[in-house]
Structure 1
Amino acid sequence: MKNKIVLISLLILPIAIYLVFSTASHNSIFLPTISKNNQDIPSDWTSLDSTKESMKDKITILGFVGDKVIENRGNFFNLNQKIYNKYKGFKDFQMIMVVPVGNEKKCQQIIDELAPITGDMKGWRFVFSTPEKIQEYYDSYKLMGHLDENKGTPAVIIVDKELNHRGRKGKNKKGEEEYKESYNTISAADLHNEMTDDVKIILREYRLALKKNNNARKDAFRDNIKENIEKQKNQ
């Protein structure tokens, strides 16, 4: 009996330790919220195909491109290969890039260059506004970073379906405090090693929530049927 208890302890203890440490990590269950209820894309901003863009009910990678669109095409390529190509199959996932007006043809050129290696580009969205309004919109997120003189930055952020800015905040797996509000598109390693994981986590969050809601509806439907059957029996 004592030997069985020892064996069971040896089997269970490593699993328990793993669960404790994994759930202590910021990215094991959910991605922390940096700020809540942020402003959506203004309705008067234009897009390449004249549609109104919104981040509501979408998981959005939000970026601020600036005037140096072609000069920074490598950033688009990194973001496309490391992030967009992995998650473009999710209908509620999109990329929105904010650009000063007058750069529409340059942005279309980026789309045309990426399309042959990507295929479906409908999740790549560009919106255009004046430099002043772009700065005001960027400032509303109260980020630690700054836009350059061209109203651009290589950093992108994750915005969830409720317009909450998501990122890393708190202790990591090593027990060290970390804060990450954005991801550097210049660095393929930053996108591959950190942003890929964080987007995966937030997508998993919504899948689990959807599954939970579906199960709750099924339970309610089943309970309703049982209740009706009971009522018929008692009549």
Structure 2
Amino acid sequence: MSLLKLALLVLLLQAIHVSYGQNDQELKLVQALLDLNTAIANQDSDTKATLSKEFEGRLIQVLEQEDIVSFKTFDKVLDSLNSAFSFKKSGEYELFTLRNNFEHWNYVLKNKYVIHKQERTFDYFHAVYSLDQHRYLLIKRMDELSFSCYKAYLYQDNSSSIDSNNHFLSVCSWTNVDESLLQNRSSPESDQSSKDHLKSYPPIPIKFDVKNKVISYTFYRQSDGKKTTRKARYLHGGFVIKSYDARMFDE
């Protein structure tokens, strides 16, 4: 985003403050976001690091004390910056993810308190599910130009990973493929939106059945196109399930 557009957004923010007496927490959050984006536009890495910390502090304060979904000015400014956030509720847990300049700010909350966070990451938190009294399932997603990966983790409420911060399941699939390299192999996953030999595919997600506590994913084998579903129930504090990576071409 250009510095001129950022300057105009700052002026707009000031006008909103004067005219409508906007929520002070929201204004401080928006100002911190605009300051951060100005540093990014200036390619000032030192200032960016400092302003990132300030923005993160403001953001956590808002998440724990306010209803960020009601922050309409913040939402409009994000839209102007080509950024966005998602806020999901799942049982006792809440999941907040903000995307800004190819980076993500990710937070898991319980009882309006941040219990786990990862900031300025390329991948992002996709879903969270309660497993038992103090454990939860966290699914992360990463999108590259030609493939996407979902990874599943087990966490304690005290923010520590049960398995040294390692995922227990990874599912990676192609999303854009030059099928001329596949010698005309057909695939039922294709959405048929192709130009020449380039085809787009939906990513293969990791799904979770909350009622039965079953994790699963479905893919089509590249060797013969056969539909395959793998699933596992949450037993004895964990899941036993094989990962899948379409890039390996081994099934």
TM superposition score normalised by structure 2: 0.23
> Which structure's residues are more often strand, by fraction?
2
> Which structure's residues are more often helix, by fraction?
1
Which structure ranks higher in relative contact order (CA pairs < 8 Å, sequence separation ≥ 6)? 1
TM superposition score normalised by structure 1: 0.25
Q: Which has the larger radius of gyration?
A: 1
